[in-house]
Amino acid sequence: MMNQEEIKKSLWVFHLNTGSCNGCDIEIVASSNPRYDIERFGTKIVGTPRHADALLITGPVTREMEKKAKRVYEQVPEPKLVISVGNCGNTGGVFYESYNLEGPIDKVFPVDVYVPGCPPRPEAIIDGLKEAWKILEGEEDEG
Amino acid sequence: MIGLETGYGNWSPIIWLVSLIVIAVLILFLRSLGKKDYKKEGGKDEEFFSGNEPPEEGFRGDYWGFFEVFERYYKYMEKMHSGLINDYMLWFLVVLALIVFALLVRSI
């Protein structure tokens, strides 16, 4: 686990539900409550993709949500990351090969971090955020 | 020092000028910290509308629903806000007269 002293910049995320049952969304909310408190690592859930460094996506991307998800993805400034939260987003989960899916998420746009679980626990989501943060910090150091 | 002492405080154009320069330098400094390679393509500079395409006509920011519902009220209010100082002074006098009238009626 990283030390808080190591964090130079804050990772702001935008949460997007592309057809999730809300299980993963509730865990994301739980990760920002005082018990897990992602804000102590500088991570904040923002209200618009234009303020975000990463997308926190739940759900398997339904047909109706594909265009909207792509638009939201486009609106995140570079460099950006996509964190897929939950089995539905990672593989399609119980909706795998459903007639109404355009996903899983990596079929619609590139995914950088996969967080498995149905739903994943807040610890797993925090771990995924840490991985995303490491990727972004690495890019900063290189470029 | 150039300035105006009003008895309640002082006003100096030099202080204003220095403040404006300091603020401008701060703004330019913060702006220079931004990403140089930021691209506006792909709807990045469009309004965020929950992933939907913003309507071309009549889109008025995040409060569009609010404006939509109160459209009749706003159109009515816009007529009153003509932008002419004479009209505003007239409103001021009418409201003042009403308040004075109400106070007079109450005191009788």
Residue B3 confidence (pLDDT): 75
Residue B83 confidence (pLDDT): 86
Interface A-B, measured as beta-carbon pairs within 8 A, has a size of 32
* C-alpha span between A72 and A66 (Å, rounded): 10
Residue ranges in chain B assigned as alpha helix (H):
13-32, 64-69, 71-80, 85-107
* C-alpha span between B92 and B3 (Å, rounded): 32
Determine whether the interchain pair B46/A75 forms a contact, defined as Cβ–Cβ distance below 8 Å: yes
Q: For residue A116, what pLDDT band results from cuts at 50, 70 and 90?
A: very high
Write out residues 39-68 of B within 8 Å (CB-CB) of A. Answer: 39, 42-44, 46, 48, 50-53
Q: For residue A122, what pLDDT band results from cuts at 50, 70 and 90?
A: very high
Q: Which of A18, A19, A17 is nearest to A29 (CA)?
A: A17
Q: Are A39 and A7 in contact (CB under 8 A)?
A: no
C-alpha distance from residue A126 to each of A35, A41, A131, B86 (Å)? 12, 9, 9, 61
Element (H, E) at B54: none
Residue B59 confidence (pLDDT): 61
Which pLDDT tens digit goes with each residue over B43-99? Answer: 777 778 888 887 666 566 667 778 878 889 988 888 888 888 999 999 999 999 999
Averaged confidence pLDDT in chain B: 85
Residue ranges in A20-101 assigned as alpha helix (H):
23-31, 63-75, 87-91
This complex has an ipTM of 0.71
Please name the residues in contact with A91: beta carbons below 8 A apart, sequence gap of 6 or more: A104
Nearest-CA distance B69 → chain A (Å) = 23
Q: Looking at beta carbons, which residues of chain B come within 8 Å of A50?
A: 44, 48
Q: What is the CATH number of domain A10-138?
A: 3.40.50.12280
Residue A127 confidence (pLDDT): 95
pTM of the model: 0.71
